[in-house]
Each structure stands twice: as structure tokens, then as C-alpha cells.
Amino acid sequence: MRAFFLLGLSLFVYFQTVAQSELRYTWEDEFTEVEKQKVRAWLSTTYKAVQSKIGEYPFDVYVHIHRREGKEEPCPWANTWRYPKQQIFFHIDPNYSLEEFLADWTAPHEMSHLAIPYIGEKEAWFSEGFASFLQYQVMLEMGEMTKMSIDSAYNSKFSGVLEYYRSTESVGDIAIQKRKESNYKAMYWGGANLFYQWNQQLIEKENREFSSLFQEYLKCCRKTSRGVDGVVKAIDEVYGGTIGQDLLFKFRNGESGANFKF
């Protein structure tokens, strides 16, 4: 009886160890087998980099592939849904090469979204900023960018929207207003600045990156944390400090010109 129990325990531990989050594909339009292989290579490579950089997701990810030809980029549109399953909808032009797909930021951005729960429309600046910051971190992991090129990219993005944040309003309020004006770049990168600063402070204080907090966060809190405050508090608890909560307070309540840094 004891031997049977130990065998069952060993099998349980084994399957817990080897179990991995997987990509589940649905082809919403007609694609050739060659096109499907290219899409799988693109998304699986990206997903492995996401998990290497952030950590193992505690769920499978369902990807829906739509055909959208004649555009000026490999993936002109994509969006993420978290109910009833964790899903990403990619609208792609399969005529682009695998190299061009891998160099595109869309898949790293959308897959990064799933590291935190749905935040809601009111504070979409936070979730979009989160994914915008992490997309370059993932592309660095993929070998599609270098440390020098991502530093340059952050600088370019932040300096490109700085004019909107020279104000006495909060960063959050300005980002929300820019979204209403369909100025998505200003909203995304205004939000991303919070995570950029969070990352910089962690490097300076602890010599660790923001992304290093997520392996534990995904295990303990991804399925239980709720709202911006809940997510930030949970990530801070993994670290054992209040960097995120302090930055969130400033972004919501402080003067944006004083709090927008790079």
C-alpha cells in the first residue's frame, strides 16, 4: 500500500513538473500548411521568450488566426480576451516572411497582456503601458533587439509623447484623455513610463529587473489579484517593498511633468 502511495505521489510530482502552458490554435480563415507552419514558428518562438522572460503562465493560451492581406505590416491588428478563456486574436498577412513576423512587436505585446488580469477600461493606460514596456523586454529575449536598441526605443517613445505630460494633471488622467482622442501612442507610452521607472528603481536598489518578479507572481497571484491596486500590491509583495504602489500614487495624483521620467 505504501509503495502504491509513493508511486502515485511520484507521478503527481512528475506531471506537475512537466506540465506546461500551451498555445491552442484556431484557424478562423483558410491557410495553407506552409502558412500555418510559419505562424506556429512565429508564435511559439515568441511565447517561449515570454515564458523565459516572465515565467510560466498558469493556463493555456488560445490563439485565433484571421487572414488580413494587403496591409503594410505582418500583423496589422490583434486583441486579447480573458473570458471564458485566455485568448488572443491575430489578424495577419501571411505573405510576410517569418523574419518579418519575428521582428514585429505585436505578438510580444499581446502575449505580455496575459501576465496580469483584465484591468478594465477606466485604467486601460495601466494595462497597455504594462504590455508596451514588456514587449521590448520580450524582443530582447528573442534576440530581435539588443540592450542598446531597446534603450533607444524607450527613449524615442517617451520623448515622442512627453509634450502631452507637461501638465499639472496626473499621468493617469492625461492618458485617459488621450485615449478618448484616439491618441493611443500617448496613452500606451504614458502608462509604460510607470513600468520603466519601476524597472529602473529595482535595478538601482536590488540589481534585479521588473520582469524577475513575475515567476512568483504568476504562481501566487495571477488568478486572484483584481484591479490595478490589487495587481500592484501583489507584485510589490513579491519584491517586499512599495515601489509600485508609490509610483502608482504619483501617476494618479501627482503632477505629470514631475513624474514622467526617462
Q: pLDDT tens digits, residue range 84-131?
A: 999 999 999 999 999 999 999 999 999 999 999 999 888 999 999 999
Query: Last residue of a domain, which of 82, 113, 144?
Result: 113
Task: Please check whether residues 92 and 151 belong to one and the same domain.
Answer: no
Q: What is the pLDDT of residue 5?
A: 39
For residue 106, being part of any structural domain is answered with yes
How far is it, in rounded angstroms, from Cα 99 to Cα 74?
10
- Does position 184 have pLDDT exceeding 70, yes or no? yes
Give phi and psi for 53, each to the nearest 5.
-80, -40
Judged by DSSP in three states, 67 sits in: strand
For residue 5, being part of any structural domain is answered with no
Domain count, the chain: 2
For residue 107, being part of any structural domain is answered with yes
- Does position 11 have pLDDT exceeding 80, yes or no? no
User: Quick one: pLDDT band at residue 6, thresholds 50, 70, 90?
Assistant: very low
Task: Please check whether residues 242 and 173 belong to one and the same domain.
Answer: yes
Q: What is the pLDDT of residue 16?
A: 42
Task: Specify the range with the lowest mean pLDDT, choosing from 8-17, 143-152, 181-190.
Answer: 8-17
- Does position 17 have pLDDT exceeding 90, yes or no? no
Mean pLDDT across the chain: 92
Q: What is the pLDDT of residue 13?
A: 39
Task: Please check whether residues 235 and 183 belong to one and the same domain.
Answer: yes
Task: Please check whether residues 81 and 137 belong to one and the same domain.
Answer: no
For residue 79, being part of any structural domain is answered with yes
Task: Please check whether residues 128 and 200 belong to one and the same domain.
Answer: yes
User: Quick one: pLDDT band at residue 7, thresholds 50, 70, 90?
Assistant: very low
The Cβ of residue 262 has, within 10 Å, a number of other Cβ atoms equal to: 15
How far is it, in rounded angstroms, from Cα 204 to Cα 143?
24
- Against a cut of 0.95, is the pTM above it? no
Grid cell of 240 as nine digits: 517586499
Grid cell 509634450 in the structure block, residue? 163
Task: Please check whether residues 132 and 194 belong to one and the same domain.
Answer: yes
Query: Last residue of a domain, which of 57, 79, 113?
Result: 113
210-239 mean pLDDT: 97
How far is it, in rounded angstroms, from Cα 92 to Cα 98?
12
For residue 11, being part of any structural domain is answered with no
Q: Which amino acid is at 251?
A: F
Distances (CA, A) of 158 to 23, 50, 109, 162, 226: 33, 23, 17, 6, 28
For residue 4, being part of any structural domain is answered with no
Task: Please check whether residues 149 and 249 belong to one and the same domain.
Answer: yes
Query: Last residue of a domain, which of 67, 92, 113?
Result: 113
Task: Please check whether residues 97 and 130 belong to one and the same domain.
Answer: no
Handedness of CA 45, 50, 51, 52 (dihedral sign): positive
- Does position 158 have pLDDT exceeding 50, yes or no? yes
User: Quick one: pLDDT band at residue 70, thresholds 50, 70, 90?
Assistant: confident
Q: What is the pLDDT of residue 2?
A: 43
Task: Please check whether residues 159 and 40 belong to one and the same domain.
Answer: no
Q: What is the pLDDT of residue 92?
A: 98
Task: Please check whether residues 170 and 244 belong to one and the same domain.
Answer: yes
Is the CB of residue 146 less than 8 Å from the CB of residue 140? Answer: yes
Q: Which domain holds residue 221?
A: 124-259
Q: Which of 80, 134, 59, 136 is nearest to 104 (CA)?
A: 136
Determine whether 228 is exposed, middle or buried from the number of CB atoms within 10 Å of its CB (0-12, 13-18, 19+). buried
Judged by DSSP in three states, 123 sits in: coil
For residue 219, being part of any structural domain is answered with yes
Task: Please check whether residues 45 and 83 belong to one and the same domain.
Answer: yes
For residue 8, being part of any structural domain is answered with no
